[in-house]
A and B are shown apart, each in its own frame.
Chain A
Amino acid sequence: MKRVIEHPVLGRLEDAKEVKISVDGKEMTAREGEMIAAALFANGKNVFRYTNKRHEPRGVYCGIGRCTDCVMIVNGVPNVRTCVTPVEAGMVIETQQGIGHWGEEGSGDRGGEDGTH
């Protein structure tokens, strides 16, 4: 799942600032402002969660924030749609199991202030 650097219509991919994110405890490099799902794909990860009932792997399905297949735990908040949420430096991303759990950084008061869900 490599990046599309050269493209016959869109031209060369512009350079972007690199940011470091943590994915299941592992450090990965992403382009600033890109969608989490895109950063994960570029880093070779395409399984984002395991379902509640059947513990089955899920990844990207609709890609535009409507189906919620791609949700992960982001900075302690579960059910974050990774295909429409941009990365930020230092973001902590975890593969979600089932309906997920609220981490130490996440709490009810945090709802919505980072604009993600």
Chain B
Amino acid sequence: MVRTEVAVVGAGPAGLSAAIECARAGAKVTLIDENAKPGGQLFKQIHKFFGSREHRAGIRGIRIGEELLAEAQALNIDVWLNAEVCGIYRGSELWVVVDHSESRLVKADAIIIATGATENAVSFNGWSLPGVMGAGAAQTMINLHRVLPGNRIMMIGSGNVGVIVSYQLMQAGAEVAAIVEAAPRLGGYGVHTAKVRRAGVPFYTSHTVLEARGSDHVESAVIVQLDDKWQPVAGTEKEFDVDTICIAAGLTPLIELAAGAGCSTCFIPALGGHIPAHDEKMRTSLDTVYIAGDIAGVEEASTAMEEGRLAGIHAAAALGHYGTDEESRRSAEVWKRLSTLRSGPFGQKRREAKDEILNSRRTLSERV
């Protein structure tokens, strides 16, 4: 049995930030990640963040990842890689399997779950053919592994992930034949969308993918126009010669550990679906279990880091490392930054959705 004060599950931006915050406060932290390398999705993000706020200095995701890792290393945080958390019990025990071979039981006074989110699937005829993949998969291939998944790509989805990955595919040397969006309007930040447009990529709004064709691999894709009732319009089918179809249809929080641990959930479609209800301290319905990052609602890496800090501050305070004044002061600073991140036309919707989560958590308390 390994004894620790704070066990953090997931070493992406939220988990790293939480671990750093707790360690700075003087708590003993064990940071557990199932991957061979920490950083979550950060090391694929070669673009500059905060792109929607023109006046802010842009920092690339990879740079942020490097900085977080350096901080974590400097604080001597105990990091377990290739370590899968298989279960959480009584809000304080974690069953971890390391290297697929060694079982460890961890006893913690507080647990911060920062397991992120997973890409959504969109099914269509032929979608299981090699060559159909998540946009994130393509991004991993080009930015991390430095290999093209294909040469001519169709992107399904015009949200941020869709346009950003389209641009990155072009930076890597691929051609993007089209970006297909079911809604009548495009979904991503103006800055990213404009870049892709300028590069000559055609957008097809009110269109959806009908079929991926090919024998052993994608050879072409058929899209069709939708009417205002989202029904395919006969005769508007268009076939594109592509070898890859990327799906960028949003993300869903990975709540299996939190739900299995007994955390109550709420349903917030705007942030990805079922989400563990949490309060302003990022605490779930279980007193000792906190969440942070995309698991608490799909937003961005910047909000993930702030939520990680928040969870870290309050977990450390709950364990006696900060007094109430210190806790409030630090927490207020983070909330100020979160408010800025959740402003503007895109941010406002997220703020409202996050408020729904807080309300949901409050309702739970009132019932008890």
By a beta-carbon cutoff of 8 Å, the part of chain A in contact with chain B is 1-5, 7-10, 13, 34-35, 37-38, 41-42, 46-48, 51, 56-66, 69, 83-84, 86, 111-113, 115-117
Contact = CB atoms under 8 A, between A and B. Distances in A.
13 contacts: A1-B151, A4-B147, A37-B141, A38-B147, A46-B130, A56-B128, A58-B128, A58-B130, A60-B133, A60-B137, A61-B137, A63-B139, A112-B100
A28 to B, nearest CB: 13
B148 A41 contact: yes
A60 B132 CA distance: 8
B196 to A, nearest CB: 15
A61 B147 contact: no
B329 to A, nearest CB: 38
B149 A1 contact: yes
Given A63-B133, A84-B35, A112-B100, A7 B216 contact: no
A84 B101 CA distance: 17
Q: Is the interface of A mostly helix, strand, loop or mixed?
A: loop
A7 B146 contact: yes
Nearest to A57: B216
Contact of A111 (B101, B134, B151): B101
A7 B148 CA distance: 12
Contacts of B99: 112, 115
Contacts of B150: 1
Contacts of A116: 100
B183 interface: no
Contact of B148 (A4, A51, A65): A4
B175 to A, nearest CB: 13
Given A2-B173, A8-B171, A41 B149 contact: yes
Interface string B225-268: 00000000000000000000000000000000000000000000
A2 B148 contact: yes
B134 A62 contact: yes
Interface in B133-180: 133-134, 136-143, 145-151, 171-173
Interface of B: 35-36, 46-47, 60, 82, 99-101, 118-119, 128-134, 136-143, 145-151, 171-173, 216-217
Contacts of B173: 2, 4
A21 B47 CA distance: 34
B60 A35 contact: no
Contacts of B136: 62-64
Contacts of B119: 62
Nearest to B132: A61
> Closest 3 A-B residue pairs measured CB to CB?
A59-B130, A63-B137, A112-B101
Given A46-B130, A63-B136, 17 more contacts: A7-B172, A9-B47, A9-B60, A41-B148, A41-B149, A59-B130, A60-B149, A61-B132, A61-B134, A62-B118, A62-B133, A63-B133, A65-B35, A83-B137, A111-B101, A112-B101, A115-B101
A9 B143 CA distance: 10
Task: Name, among B139, B140, B171, the residue most crowded by chain A CB atoms within 10 Å (CB to CB).
Answer: B140
A4 B131 contact: no
A58 B99 CA distance: 26
A103 B203 CA distance: 48
Given A7-B172, A57-B130, A41 B147 contact: yes
B217 A57 contact: yes
Contacts of A113: 101
Given A41-B141, A62-B137, A111-B101, A9 B148 contact: no
A46 B217 contact: yes
Contacts of A5: 146
Contacts of A65: 35
B145 A35 contact: yes
Nearest to B127: A61
Contacts of A41: 141, 145, 147-149
A56 to B, nearest CB: 6
Contacts of A56: 128-129
A85 to B, nearest CB: 9
B147 A1 contact: yes
Contacts of A2: 147-148, 173
